[in-house]
Amino acid sequence: MSHDLFEAARGAMAFAHAPYSKFPVGAAIRAEDGKVYSGANIENLSFPQGWCAEPTAISAMIMGGARKIVEMAVIAEKLPLCPPCGGCRQKISEFASKDTKIYLCDEAGVKKTMTMEELLPFSFETELG
Q: From first to last of its 129 residues, what are the pLDDT tens digits of the chain?
A: 689 999 999 999 999 999 999 999 999 999 999 999 999 999 998 877 889 999 999 999 999 999 999 999 999 999 999 999 999 999 999 999 999 999 999 999 999 999 999 999 988 776 655
End-to-end Cα distance, the chain: 25
Q: Is 52 annotated as a binding residue?
A: yes
Q: What is the pLDDT of residue 127?
A: 66
Is 82 marked as binding a ligand? Answer: no
Entry pTM = 0.93
125 occurs within a structural domain: no
Q: Which domain holds residue 18?
A: 3-119
Query: Is 88 annotated as belonging to a binding site?
Result: yes
Residue 128 lies in a domain: no
What's 62's domain CATH number?
3.40.140.10
Is-catalytic flag, 117? no
Q: Is residue 7 part of a domain?
A: yes
Distance CA 93, CA 95 (A): 5
Residue 8 lies in a domain: yes
* Among 7, 32, 54, 71, the one annotated catalytic: 54
In a domain, 70, yes or no: yes
Number of domains within the chain: 1
> What is the pLDDT, as a whole number, of residue 128?
56
Count Cβ atoms below 10 Å from residue 66 Cβ, excluding itself. Answer: 20
What lies within 8 Å, CB to CB, of 62 at 6+ separation is none
pLDDT for the residue 118: 97
Residue 32 forms part of a structural domain? yes
C-alpha 11/C-alpha 95 separation (Å) is 23
Residue 127 belongs to a domain:
no
**Is 129 domain-assigned?**
no
